[in-house]
Amino acid sequence: MKVLVINAGSSSLKYQLMDPETGAVSAKGLCERIGIDGKFTYKAGGKTVIDAADVAMPTHAEGIQAVLDALVNPEYGVIASMDEIDAVGHRVLHGGAKFTESCLVDEACKQAIRDCIPLGPLHNPANLMGIEACEKVMPGKPQVAVFDTAFHMTMPAEAYTYAIPYEYYENDQVRRYGFHGTSHRYIAERALAMLGRTETPEGTKIINCHLGNGSSLCAIKDGKCVDTTMGLGPLAGIPMGTRCGDIDATIMEYLMGRYGYDIGQMMNILNKKSGVLGISGVSSDFRDLEAAEKEGNARAKLALDKFFYEVRKAIGAYAAAMGGVDAIVFTAGVGENGIANRARIMKGLEYLGAKIDPEKNNTRGVEAEISTADSKVKIFVIPTNEELMIAKDTARLAK
């Protein structure tokens, strides 16, 4: 079976053709600058076969068409015809409280994604464009929507309720939703397998640290999400590459008053100019920050220290929320690759019974246990694979 996994943004579209059983990727790439001057990349057999600029791509539909043309190309394609694609799986940002799991795309599903546009104003319209482009270019092909929010819908009310007038929840759906849910769900499955608890998840307590350019932590009890750091939107929680994470809302009123910013300017500062970039003034990229810190840049050091401090605090909070922890997992760019970063986060968490082994921690990008033999809490590195999760859901629902 072959599933085409699509992650559509407003002017970009990432794709992978994948076997949902083995996770083998036969081809992947990116359509960029859709509606501008069109850029197209296509990789197959481990090589970049196409890297073309100025590709006519006025809408997402031409992007999907370019993907299909490449996939069936007699010279470098990986399938003989479009019929070999069994189904298409889409990453969709916001499913509101309605979607507790993935769904087969039909008119009702599309309308529900549309209804969630106010909650995901940047992503949901783009995700819909991806779905409609596939409908146009591959009519009748089963499509599945996989929501970033769905895994978090098992949170109890005390975790998802904000302490603001309750009518905003009742009338306006203001609550914690959380994101990176497909990644957290994949990690939950893998961590349970590594604990030998796939068949008996009851009683397990896992804290997953998805640390990348965007970052969130998730508390996973009995294999289900019970809390997560992101909120109504992906700005909340721990500081990120350029996003502020949790801040006192008074800061907004204060700065808007002092500088005359409107809400759009204020949100732009909090989304694009804050986080470790904002503190350091150097970069949002953790490798740049580590390099600057080594050269003695005090603000780069402060940005890293702040990030590690907030991750450590969130781990402590989730251990308290679940009444303990069996496994702490690191994933995404920083979590999978940041050897020194993992060590700095775990420093001070020994009281939880979590001890990192410096030698085992010297690993990158592969599944590994990095805790000492006598550590009560297992510490794992697990490379995330959202695409595989999307492909698996798609295969299951499209059958």
The piece of 68-76, 161-169, 231-239, 329-337 that touches ligand AMP (CB under 6 A) is 329-337
Q: Tokens for 7, please give them.
A: 């992650």
Residue of 332, 368, 379, 390 that binds ligand AMP (CB under 6 A):
332
The Cβ-side half-sphere exposure at 98, using a 13 Å CA radius, reads 18
The piece of 148-156, 169-177, 308-316, 326-334 that touches ligand AMP (CB under 6 A) is 326-334
Task: State which residue, 130 or 333, has the beta carbon closest to ligand AMP.
Answer: 333
Q: Tokens for 255, please give them.
A: 């700065």
The answer to whether residue 287 forms part of the interface with ligand AMP (CB under 6 A) is yes
State the burial class of residue 274 (Cβ atoms within 10 Å of its Cβ: 0-12, 13-18, 19+). buried
Q: Tokens for 254, please give them.
A: 């204060």
State the burial class of residue 374 (Cβ atoms within 10 Å of its Cβ: 0-12, 13-18, 19+). exposed
Catalytic, 357? Answer no
The answer to whether residue 333 forms part of the interface with ligand AMP (CB under 6 A) is yes
The piece of 79-87, 136-144, 332-340, 389-397 that touches ligand AMP (CB under 6 A) is 332-340
> Within its chain, how far is the Cα of 105 from the centroid?
21
Of 37, 148, 222, 393, which is the active-site residue?
148
Residue of 223, 231, 239, 338 that binds ligand AMP (CB under 6 A):
338
The site map against ligand AMP for 180-219 (x = CB under 6 A) is --------------------------------xx------
The answer to whether residue 9 forms part of the interface with ligand AMP (CB under 6 A) is no
The one-character DSSP state at 325 is -
Is residue 85 a contact partner of residue 95, using CB atoms and an 8 Å limit?
A: no
Q: Where are the alpha helices (DSSP H) in the chain?
A: 60-71, 107-115, 124-137, 157-160, 167-172, 181-194, 250-259, 263-272, 275-280, 286-294, 298-322, 332-337, 339-346, 386-398
The answer to whether residue 334 forms part of the interface with ligand AMP (CB under 6 A) is yes
The answer to whether residue 142 forms part of the interface with ligand AMP (CB under 6 A) is no
Nearest to 69 by CA among 36, 33, 27: 27
Task: State which residue, 287 or 294, has the beta carbon closest to ligand AMP.
Answer: 287
Residue of 189, 285, 357, 367 that binds ligand AMP (CB under 6 A):
285
Q: Which residues bind ligand AMP (CB under 6 A)?
A: 212-213, 241, 285-287, 332-334, 337-338
Active site residues: 148
